[in-house]
Each structure stands twice: as C-alpha cells, then as structure tokens.
Amino acid sequence: MLDGSMSIFDLLLIQPIFSVLIFIYGILPMQDLGIALIIFTILVRLAMWPMVKKQLHQTKIMRQLQPQLAVIKKKAKGNRQLESQMMLELYREKGINPFGQIGLLLVQLPIFIALFAVVRIITEEQHNVPKFTYDFLEGMPGVHAALEHINATFLGIIDLTKHATLPDGGIYWPLAILAVIAAVLQFIQSKQLLPQPKEKRRLRDILKEQASGKEVDQAEMSALMTGKMIWLFPVLTFLIGMYLAGALVLYLVVSSAVAIIQQDRALKEDETDLEKVSEKTKTKVSKAKEAVVVAEPTPKKKGQTTASKKKKRS
C-alpha cells in the first residue's frame, strides 16, 4: 500500500524491489525467502545483460588498444593535456565511452542498498511489510500469508536473518561458508576480465627496470598491478560478508555466479565475432590476389616468341 510518509528512494526502489521479491515468494509452492532471492537476483542480472554485454565488449576493445595508447604516450612526451586529447579521439574513433564501465556499478549499487533496506524490513520491521507491498498484490494467497509471516530461511536450513558473526562472539558457520563462496566467486569474476601477459614477470623486476632508466611497457605494468589488486576485492567481500545479513550474502553469491556465466558467454561471442571478421578479411584478400593474378599477362617463353615471329614472316 502507498504511504505519503515514504521517501522518493522508498517509492522508486525499495517498494518495487520489495514487492517483486514478495510476489516471487508468494507464487513459490514452498515459500522460501532464499529461493525467492535467488530467482530475484537472476532476474536482475538478466535485465542488466545488454549493459553487461556492452561493457565487456568495450573492456575487450580497451585491452586491444593498449599498444596504441602506449604510442600516444610516447608522442605526447609528458604533455598530459595532449595525451588526454589524443586518447579521447582514439576512444571516439573506436566508439568507446571511457566512463561506460561506471554505469553498471551505478545500477547495481542502488539495488544493493535497497535490498539491504528490504532485508531489514523483513528481519527487523515486519510490521512495515504491508506498507511496502503494492495494493494489488495483497489479494494473492501467498502474499497475504507473507504479510503475516515470512519464512526467512534458505531451504529451511540456513537462517537468512542472522549474521556469520554472532553477538556472543561465535560463528554461524552456514553463513561463514556462504561468505567464503562469495569471496571465491568474486575472485573468479575479476580473474575472467584480467588480461593475461605474454611473459609472466614479477612487478618487482619491472619496477627495478624502470628505476634503472629502462623503457617499461606500461600496458604490462598496468596488467600486473591489476593482477595484484584482484586479491583485494575477494578479501573485502569475505570481511563484509561476515557482517552482513545472510540474505545479502546469498545475493552476492548468486550475483557473482550469474556474472561469471554472463562474462564467459559475452567474451566468447566477442572472440567468435572477431574470428568471423578475420575470416572475411582473409577471403577478401585472397580474392583480390586471385583477381590480380588473372589480370596479369602470362609471360611467354623464348622459344614461343621466335616461333611466332617466323610464322609472321612466312
């Protein structure tokens, strides 16, 4: 039901997300908040698929542009303004939005914040459940039952209202294991997008070369530094997951799992498209070569030339 006391954030995000989650929960034969949350997370990731695909495509192009960016850096000779201008021109030419990758984060972050509020309503403010449920849903039997009580478990085993770190200092192991799984999946998700250097060298060796005055491949150095950073996000995911409500940890697990599948598919599609373009280019080049060969006159042998001359004289 609508409430004039709700904020714009409540009306635009919390109420729609809450109502969708309650609707999924209500139509499930076995009313289980964990299963409803898994279905909800998959739907959110599927809705973001066009944006994910576009972002991954641009990420792959950005990797391929590293050699050209290195050339631009040499040409600029320390002139930051010129370097930025040349980079933006290159991005415009290739159809890349350098700030496009932030878009996906800006979509996901409000959803996560709203979901945090939804979980708080379910776990701590069940008297507000009718307030955040749309009126037309209240007539559904499952939703009507949810207005009285929500089964906030996953498969009837894991209590999603709890935290991995208990108030008495103990550990709720089912959620602690979920936090570990979330961290591992976060690592795999980041690793998928990490460019693999041709020669595996240590960052320490490259920094020594740079200190000695040798020219260093900035793309290789950037890839190695990114490789070090991908360990940071899984550690943060685990530490945060230990203090979040179980429902949010489950959301992180499912979201990363679906993201891994989406990234794998999108990157493979990009490789297939590039292979098709490469094959078309090869075909065009070979046809052009054949046309040149046909157009060229066949060289005559010496014997054939003298014989033809004798025939003309006679």
pLDDT number for residue 274: 46
Token pair listed for 46:
């599927």
Listed as own residue / partner, the contacts of 75-83 with beta carbons closer than 8 Å and 24 or more positions apart are none
Q: What pLDDT shows up at residue 165?
A: 92
Which residues of the chain have a pLDDT value below 50?
A: 1-2, 198, 274-285, 288-289, 292-293, 302, 305, 309-312, 314
From 122, 99, 112, select the one nearest 22 (Cα to Cα): 122
Measure the CA–CA gap between 201 and 98, rounded to whole angstroms: 28
CB 25 within 8 A of CB 37: no
Longest CA–CA separation in the chain, Å: 119
Residues sharing a CB contact under 8 Å with residue 220, sequence separation 6 or more, in sequence order: 197, 199, 201, 206
- Give the three-class secondary structure for 72: helix
Residue 236, pLDDT score: 92
pLDDT at 283: 47
Q: pLDDT tens digits, residue range 234-291?
A: 999 999 999 999 999 999 999 999 999 998 888 887 655 544 434 443 444 455 445 5
Paired with 153 in beta bridges are 159
pLDDT score, position 280:
44
From residue 128, alpha-carbon distances to 1, 18, 148, 149 in Å are: 10, 11, 11, 12
Hunting for tokens 């033809």 — which residue is that?
308
pLDDT computed for residue 278 by the predictor: 40
Compute the half-sphere exposure of residue 61: CA atoms within 13 Å on the CB side of its CA. Answer: 18
In terms of DSSP bridges, do strands 153-154 and 158-159 run parallel, antiparallel, or are they unpaired? antiparallel
d(CA 201, CA 218): 13
Compute CA distances 69 → 91, 201, 211, whole Å: 10, 21, 22
Q: Quick check: 45 and 255 in contact, CB under 8 A?
A: yes
